[in-house]
Amino acid sequence: MCGRYSLVWTDDLGTRFRVYLTDLGGRSHFNVAPSQTMPVIVEDGDVRMVMMAWGLLPHWAKDLQGSHRPINARAETLAEKPLFRGLLKQHRCLIPASGFYEWKRAGARKQPYYIRLKESPVFAFAGLYDVWHGADGGAFPTYTIITTEANNLVSPIHNRMPVILRPEDEGRWLAPTPPAPDEVQAILGPYPAEAMEAYPVSPRVNSPTEDDEQLIAPLS
């Protein structure tokens, strides 16, 4: 499960992902929640960074309101689920992020933890996307974050974690030719635990209206 994440916007974000940053109104978000619009990197002839809403709306949905919009997709069953099978072949994407949150039960409450890479201030989740068109022809692009089994760092907190792509796998995930089944399995595995860190943070993150740098600070 991945229900919240952060993206600390930097001037070299375009360089990091080898894309030209158009005027996307980029700023840091420390508490990204489902339905919010965030930058996503796609390859559709050119590698581009575009804005999409988190929560996948398939192109064949009848309307915006009546459709289930999954925020996550399990790596193990992508090729089996009709909702994701076609997107795995044609609509893979990178989702820039700086860290993510998971909650661990502590007695009667749940303690939020912030989880990030030790040496990389920005990385990419593996994702899938689709574009829904309204009756007026307007486009509404959306995305979902792929999850996998948790590594040894995350598993005491939660049994799932988002797929964090190794930099050398980002280009392959975006490539026009879909990865073979054995490649998918290798690419979408858990990120090495020794390269990550996790620590408890303020329960203010529970509210999606809260969005400031103190949310990712360790509890004192």
Confidence category of residue 22, pLDDT binned at 50, 70, 90: low
Cβ contacts of 145 within 8 Å, gap of 6 or more: 2, 5, 54, 71, 72, 73, 95, 125, 126, 127, 162, 163
Residues 188-209: tens digit of each pLDDT: 999 999 999 999 999 999 999 9
Residues in the chain: 220
Asked, for residue 117, whether it belongs to a domain, the answer is yes
Strand pairing of 139-149 and 29-32?
unpaired
Catalytic residue selected from 43, 76, 93, 102: 102
Report pLDDT for 121.
94
Mean local confidence (pLDDT), 76-86: 93
Report pLDDT for 93.
97
The enclosing domain of 178 has a CATH number of: 3.90.1680.10
Phi, psi of 130 (to 5 degrees): -150, 165
Structural domain of residue 63, as residue ranges?
Answer: 5-202
Closest by CA to 26, choosing from 50, 42, 46, is: 50
**Torsion angle (degrees, nearest 10) of CA 171, 176, 180, 183:** 10
Catalytic residue selected from 2, 93, 210, 213: 2
Q: Look at residue 26 and tell me whether its pLDDT is greater than 90.
A: no
Asked, for residue 129, whether it belongs to a domain, the answer is yes
Asked, for residue 182, whether it belongs to a domain, the answer is yes
DSSP secondary structure letter of residue 78: T
What is the model's pTM? 0.95
Is 2 noted as a catalytic residue in this protein? Answer: yes
Asked, for residue 24, whether it belongs to a domain, the answer is yes
Is 149 noted as a catalytic residue in this protein? Answer: no
Report pLDDT for 83.
92
Structure tokens at 168: 């050398």
Confidence category of residue 40, pLDDT binned at 50, 70, 90: very high
Confidence category of residue 115, pLDDT binned at 50, 70, 90: very high
Closest by CA to 208, choosing from 25, 1, 36, is: 36
Confidence category of residue 66, pLDDT binned at 50, 70, 90: low
Count structural domains, the chain.
1
Asked, for residue 214, whether it belongs to a domain, the answer is no
Integer angstrom CA distances of residue 178 from 9, 56, 58, 77: 29, 20, 19, 16
Confidence category of residue 23, pLDDT binned at 50, 70, 90: low
Asked, for residue 17, whether it belongs to a domain, the answer is yes
Q: Look at residue 136 and tell me whether its pLDDT is greater than 60.
A: yes
